[in-house]
Amino acid sequence: MHNNTEHLSGITIKIIIANIIIFFLQILTGNSGFLIEYFALTPILVASKYHIWQLVTYMFLHGNFAHIFFNMYALLIFGMPIEQEWGSKRFTLYYFFTGIGAGLTIFFINSIFPGPGYYYPTIGASGAVFGLLLAFGFLYPNAELLLFFFIPIKAKYLVILYGLLELFLEISGSSGNISHIGHLGGLFFGLIYFLIFKKHALSFKAKIIRSKILKNLEEHQQMLSERAQNIASPSIDFKVNILKKISTEGIESLNDDEIQFIRLLQIMKDEESQGQCIDVDFDLDDEYCLNCENFDACFLRRVKKYFQS
C-alpha cells in the first residue's frame, strides 16, 4: 500500500513539477528563440546539426497554459496509478521510451515525407502521455473514464477511439498545430513495449512452469526409488514379523504386500547362496542371524518350508 507521501514524492509528480518550472522559464524569457531552437524537436536540426538531445528535451516544453494543463492533467491521472502498479523505475523507463519513441516517429516520418513538420519545431509531452494512455488501457481495461469530462467510457475503448481519431486526423491532414503523428508514435512505441514485455513475461513463466515440472518429476522419481528400495530391502523386523506370522497364524494370514515382497525377493535372491547355514541353526532371536548377509536366503528357505508343510 502506497501512502500519500509516497505519491507526492513519486516520479510522476517530479516530472510534472519539472514541466511547470520549465514552462514558467519559457514565460519569463518570452519563449525565447534560444529555448525553441535548441530544445524543441526540429527534424532538420537533428539531421543536419545532430541535435539528438531534442528527442528528449522537446517533451518538457509547452506552447501555452492550455497545452501544459491538459498534458499535466493526463500525466497525473494516468501516471500515478501506473507508477503505483509498476514502481518508479519501470514507470520512468516506459515514460521516456514512449516519449522518445514519439520523437523518433516525428523525425523519421517528416524525413521520409518532407513537409512543414521537417522544418517546424515540435514541443510537448503529448507523445509520452499517449503512451501512458495505452498503458492505462492495458492495465485497467474496464476502468471508467470521462471523455470530455462528462461522457463515461471504459479505458480500453478510449485507447481505441483516440488511436483511430489520431490516425484519421493525420491521414486527412487536419493537423493544425497538433502533432498527431507524435501521438500515434507514443501509442505505437507503447504497444512495442507491451509486446516485448509480454514476450519476456511468457518466457519467464515458461521457465517457472518447466522448473516446477522437472522438480515434480524429480520428486516423483525419488519417491518411486525409495518405494522400490523399501520393497526390495525392507527392515529386518518386517521379515521377522512375516516368519512369526506364518508360524503362528499360517500362510493364509499374509497380506498382499507381504506376499508380493516374498515373490520379489525370490526373483532377486538366490536361496542357495554360498555360506548359508543349515536350517536348524537359523534363529530369529539370534543377533548373528539377524545381521548375517545371507539372512534373505535363510528367510526364503524358511518361508518355502512353511509353504510345503
Q: Residue 100's domain is classified under what CATH number?
A: 1.20.1540.10
Structure-model confidence comparison of residues 85 and 4, the more confident one: 85
Structure-model confidence comparison of residues 286 and 232, the more confident one: 286
Task: Write down the pTM of the prediction.
Answer: 0.63
Is residue 220 included in any domain, yes or no?
no
pLDDT band at 87 (very low <50, low <70, confident <90, very high): very high
Is residue 280 included in any domain, yes or no?
yes
What's the structural domain count of the chain? Answer: 2
Domain assignment of residue 136, given as a range: 4-207
Is residue 217 included in any domain, yes or no?
no
pLDDT band at 61 (very low <50, low <70, confident <90, very high): very high
* Together in a domain, 158 and 271: no
Q: Which residue has the cell 476502468?
A: 143
289: CB partners within 8 A, 6+ apart: 277, 281, 282, 283, 295, 298
* Together in a domain, 154 and 256: no
Which pLDDT score is estimated for 271?
A: 47
pLDDT tens digits for range 3-26:
555 555 689 999 999 999 999 999
- CA–CA separation, 244 vs 250, rounded Å? 9
* Together in a domain, 188 and 237: no
Mean per-residue pLDDT, 15-38: 89
- Tell me which of 192, 207, 222 is where a domain ends: 207
* Together in a domain, 175 and 293: no
Q: How far is C-alpha 86 from the chain's CA centre?
A: 12
* Together in a domain, 203 and 240: no
Is residue 214 included in any domain, yes or no?
no
